Chains A and B, each alone.
Chain A
Amino acid sequence: MDRQFATFFLGDARFGIDILMVREINRHLDITPVDRAPEFLRGLLNLRGQIVTVIDLGIRLGIGPRVIGRASACLVLKTSSDLAKHQEAGLLEDDTADDVIGLLIDRVGDMVSIDEREIEPAPANVGAVDGKYLSGVVKLDDGLMAALRAKEVLGLGAA
């Protein structure tokens, strides 16, 4: 079975996330910082009247905070309840949060379609990124793509 991934970059590292979990990608980055919040919480964003909690994916994955540049974007995830139907249909194992969460990324990449069998299990770590944050690794024509495990990245499963 083929799965669709939205790919994006943090620095030169390429990541992907199952398109079923993505609500939209937004370039509007007027983020209000929140003081005394956890470090990885970059701030809050107004997305057409809904408040998006923006996570600095760089800090979360341990590869350093992101600096907002011209190509920076916010990848807004669907909420957990949005995903219920996909999970029930067996299309998705991963999960997100009850709140609307956005991931701050450096650059948006292509959409790729990947045969599930091509996804290899993630090693203990990929570069500086801990393997627990990844659901697998895929070799594309022009390099690696690490598939994110949103549940772990959002860190809400354990809490």
Chain B
Amino acid sequence: MPYEDEDLLEELVTESNEHLTAIEPDLLALEKEGDQVSSDLVNRVFRAMHSIKGGFSFFGLSHIVDLSHSMESVLMLIRDGEISVTSEITDALLGGVDKLRSLLKDVSASESTSIQEELDPLTAILQVKTEGGVASKAASGPQSATVGGSPEPGDSQEEAEAVAEQLSQSTEGTRSPEAEKTTIPAVSSEKTLVETASSSAEPVANNTPPPTTARRDKHAEGSESIRVKVGLLDNLMNLAGELVLGRNQIKIAISRRFSDAAAAGSALKHIETELSRAQASILALVESRNGADSTAGNKAQQAGIIREFTEIKNALQQIMSMRLIEIPGMSTVMQDINLVTSELQNGIMNTRMQPVGTVFAKFPRIMRDLSKKMGKEIELELIGQDVELDKSIIEALGDPLTHLVRNCADHGIESTDERDRLGKPRQGKVRLRAYHEGGQVNIDITDDGRGINVERIKNKALERGILTEDASKRMTDREAVYLIFAPGFSMAEQISDISGRGVGMDVVKTNIENLGGTVEIESVCGEGTRINLRLPLTLAIIPSLIVGAGGRRYAIPQVNLEELVIVHRQDKDKRIEEIQGNMVLRLRGKLLALITLTDLLNIQSEELIAVPGMRDDDPSPESDSGATSAQKILILKVGTNCYGLIVEELFDSEEIVVKPLSCYLKECKHYAGSTIMGDGRVAMILDVAGIADTAQLKFSDISDEKTQTARKQREIDVEMQPLLLFRNGTSELFALSLALIGRIEKVRASDIEHVGTKEYVKYDHSSMRIIHLHDILPITPREEEPDHFYIIVPKVVKHPMGIVATKVEDILHTDAEIDQINISGQGILGSAVLGGQLTVFLDIYGLFEAVAPEEYGIDRDSPIEALRGLRVLIAEDTSFFRSVESEYLRSLGCIVDTAVDGMEAWGKLSDGTYDALVTDIEMPKMDGFELIERVRASSQLKNLPVIGVTALRSDDVHCRAIDAGVDAMETKLDKGRMLEALANAIQKRSKKQKWIDNSQPSSSEMPASA
């Protein structure tokens, strides 16, 4: 039969591929179940095979039909319990799945591809079963077995399914009864099926064309979805991107117009006052001259002047009343457009999102085959299959992930014997885990194998000439692990066909980096390896910081940006120095290589072009000369290394639409792409790794021993706390922890809207309430109201309120001790003398609670309420955090005790009774990990609820702490989450305690009920 309809065939192929993907894990599950297969599972696989067979028999593609038919027959035997699933059977079925997949790749060539190799094992299985004359029974089995044999009384579920099966079987049956009968005995003799099938199917096919059946299936599963060509989505995505750009341009145009109008307004006002003054003086002049000579003509003339003045004034007033400043309704319209555009963009982006499970799905199979081949026992655990990523990323992720998983199985996991010898569980474990973090998707590949042997890595690198003797000595273990990413490096001691061909890890790294992601690796020799991939959600739109150099603007992806450092002229000599002819920055005890963007790009000064104003909502752009003398340095991250990039200007962050690089610029590794800015101009996107390469930066070169030791010491000794210092119109100085601040906005006083006694500003498409410190705290009110305010927007609070400041003083790193006695009250943490001035430390939570207790106070029903009256120990070496955390807990009525390091905490825990422990991780003498481990190892304390807190979120620390036995990890300063986590931990622990107590006597009943 010729291909009647290419479209139908295409659809059938897509559908069949989906079936194949779906049944692979089911087959693996079947293998696990062995004797006791669940009928659900078999039926699902069976139906999938059945629809593949049915569909293709219509097109007369005999090889596909033969193969799927044999597989179907084997599955039927399994379903009827006639054979149990062995690993050979699974192999045969999986082999069939693979073959079908390759046949489907090029359907037209399928007839000329041999399927014998895959058919033989299947036939063998069938023959064993049908030996002894029942061959014909099994052959005609499909119908009779399902119709008559299988339904078991009492199992209505299965019965229903059997009936369903029957129905679909009979549609099929009427179509090609001949085929069903003849195929199985003839399975090994090729071609028979199609001839019979096509001859017998033809007349019936007109009545019930199989694609309709297939369609019906599909409708039943997901009537809510349709297939859309990816090209169309790409196009929509592109258009949405353009719309975003358009919106940005309109925004700029409007705000420019607003500021023009505002300027015109004030000019008019000025004219009006001048006019009034002129009118008054003319009137006075006229009055004074009236007595002297007042002819009728003069009088008329005077009256005329007065009238003219009045007219001008009226006209002016009329113009002014037209409210040039606002185009009526414009801001609402703009807000709507804003919202709709963003939602549209998100919506379209979501159409391209696919669960990462689609990539994960192939690993159980790969792992099964690998472990069989290598004679290892490996368990694969998949977590987070629902996490979604852009289609293009999902597609590009397959190869690198496969490589990493294979590596785990091949190099990571030891042989079963070796594991036995080492006292490890016989079964090795590989875990793939996807999760969201900080707007990115993380994928962890963890194994509990032998880990990476650093010495061997170094030796191998020396052998291959990747590393010099000298560099090898200086290299830390952590750095050495990264050598496996060097091109041409192979980890395997022996090259196997699974991995170790020396192409691999470097390619993996490049692939991931091309996706805008990063690869991190961490390994403990003898215990295992963890590889962390960090990926953007989508490739098309990335949040970026816009910077300026040489009068041009560049975008730097936010992902690569660690922090911003401003070095003032007076500090320049202290912080920037020259080592071996290279500029370096001293940052918290580390030395970072510095690159000047203008030098890197060879920007010549005569090319300088003025940058069009970017801060349009800011009517008075900062043009202080002080700013130019300060160095603006971006600290950028490449893998585990950082370097500083000196730029001339810093602009806003923007979500930019990435446009691919022109073909002429492929050689320019320092560019990652280009984009169109809000004003319509093109800007280049900088490639952080490319810049390091172009500048020929060698990270290992820059480190003198003195700083290294100094660094180690410092890191343990003090955690410097970055603070924002600001004023509220008086000489009083206030401090807020920078970690709590999301943003600082500059607003005009006239933009503040009053509703009752409350004040609001527009922020992020909606209104945000703002508060004045002097309304809440016992401090001096402002003497005069300036034209502009700064609004400090906190970030860890739900529905934050903005705190009004008149001047932002500085950002300061300090480890100052906070005095909680001298100055205190709700909303105040305490005070300290910073740089010679008394500074009041604010407590955002306390402030908000004071303003709106109903919203920010703790709900009486909240689980946090359970913390009241509990004894909590806080282990924390930094005074600042110790004060903050104590304050948080005290505000809830906890009885708080503190310890300055792990050692002291351990002592206190051993002596006293506490209901919970909140501990810092990095502490001197005994760190948090050790403290937690000790607690868990202690028979008395092992059920103590423990919360770990860190200043900066890091996966690494997070995982280690969880492993050590912490109940939850939270960020310092985030009051709500910290308390919630603590309450949860206490609840969980107390339940567990009870459960263990209750369940012990009756534990023998557990398996029966399960």
Chain A residues engaging chain B, CB cutoff 8 angstroms: 30-38, 41, 43-46, 48-49, 51, 53, 55, 97-99, 156
Contacts and interface: CB of A to CB of B under 8 A. Distances in A.
Contact of A98 (B241, B663, B665, B667): B663
A45 B550 CA distance: 19
A51 B664 CA distance: 13
Given A34-B668, A35-B601, A53-B665, 20 more contacts: A30-B680, A31-B682, A33-B607, A34-B671, A35-B552, A36-B601, A36-B668, A37-B664, A37-B665, A37-B668, A41-B662, A41-B665, A43-B682, A45-B682, A49-B241, A49-B242, A49-B245, A53-B664, A97-B663, A99-B663
Contacts of A55: 664
B53 interface: no
B605 interface: no
A43 B674 CA distance: 11
A51 to B, nearest CB: 5
Contact of A44 (B242, B246, B602, B682): B682
Interface in B644-666: 659, 662-665
Contacts of A156: 663
B718 interface: no
B662 A51 contact: yes
B681 interface: yes
Contacts of A48: 242
A63 B242 CA distance: 37
B662 A44 contact: yes
Interface of B: 238, 241-242, 245-246, 550, 552, 601-603, 607, 659, 662-665, 667-668, 670-671, 674, 676, 680-684, 694
B472 to A, nearest CB: 34
B241 A32 contact: no
B552 to A, nearest CB: 7
A35 B602 contact: yes
A45 B607 CA distance: 17
Contacts of B682: 31-32, 43-46, 51
A97 B664 CA distance: 10
A44 B607 contact: no
A55 B662 CA distance: 11
Contacts of B603: 35
B662 A99 contact: yes
Contact of B683 (A32, A45, A53, A97): A32
A38 B552 CA distance: 18
A34 B242 contact: no
Nearest to B597: A35
Q: Is the interface of A mostly helix, strand, loop or mixed?
A: loop
Given A32-B682, A35-B603, A99-B662, A49 B668 contact: no
A38 B550 CA distance: 19
A156 B550 CA distance: 30
Contacts of A46: 676, 680-682
Given A44-B674, A49-B242, A49-B245, A32 B662 contact: no
Given A49-B245, A156-B663, A32 B684 contact: yes
B452 to A, nearest CB: 38
Contacts of B663: 53, 97-99, 156
B676 A51 contact: yes
A143 B551 CA distance: 43
17 contacts: A30-B680, A34-B665, A35-B552, A35-B603, A36-B601, A36-B602, A36-B668, A36-B694, A44-B674, A46-B682, A49-B238, A49-B242, A51-B659, A51-B662, A51-B674, A99-B662, A156-B663
Nearest to A159: B663
Most chain A Cβ neighbours within 10 Å, of B241, B603, B607, B665: B665
Contacts of B694: 36
A33 to B, nearest CB: 7
Nearest to B665: A37
A32 B681 contact: yes
Contacts of B242: 48-49
A108 to B, nearest CB: 23
A36 B241 CA distance: 28
A46 B238 CA distance: 14
Nearest to B663: A99
B654 to A, nearest CB: 15
Nearest to B245: A49
A44 B676 CA distance: 10
A98 B662 CA distance: 9
Nearest to B684: A34
Contact of A38 (B664, B670, B681): B664
B552 A33 contact: yes
Given A49-B241, A53-B664, A97-B663, A36 B681 contact: no
**Which 9 residue pairs spanning A and B have beta carbons closest together?**
A35-B601, A53-B662, A49-B242, A32-B682, A44-B682, A51-B659, A46-B676, A41-B664, A46-B682
A30 to B, nearest CB: 6
Most chain B Cβ neighbours within 10 Å, of A37, A44, A55, A156: A44
A55 B665 CA distance: 12
Given A36-B602, A44-B662, A156-B663, A49 B676 contact: yes
B655 to A, nearest CB: 15
B665 to A, nearest CB: 6
B610 to A, nearest CB: 13
Contacts of A34: 665, 668, 671, 684
A143 B202 CA distance: 72
Contacts of B676: 46, 49, 51
B488 to A, nearest CB: 27
B552 A32 contact: yes
Nearest to B677: A46
Contacts of B245: 49
Contacts of B665: 34, 37, 41, 53
Contacts of A35: 550, 552, 601-603
Contact of A30 (B246, B552, B668, B681): B681
A38 B670 CA distance: 14
Most chain B Cβ neighbours within 10 Å, of A30, A35, A49, A55: A35
Contacts of B667: 38
Contacts of A32: 552, 681-684
Contacts of B607: 33
Nearest to A43: B682
A72 to B, nearest CB: 16
B606 to A, nearest CB: 12
Contacts of A41: 662, 664-665
Most chain A Cβ neighbours within 10 Å, of B245, B670, B684: B684
Contacts of A44: 662, 674, 682, 684
A54 to B, nearest CB: 10
Nearest to A100: B662
Nearest to A156: B663
A51 B674 CA distance: 8
A32 B245 CA distance: 17
A98 B668 CA distance: 18
Contacts of B602: 35-36
A49 B237 CA distance: 12
Given A30-B681, A44-B682, A46-B682, A36 B662 contact: no
A30 B680 CA distance: 9
B568 to A, nearest CB: 28
A46 B245 CA distance: 11
Contacts of B241: 49
A36 B690 CA distance: 13
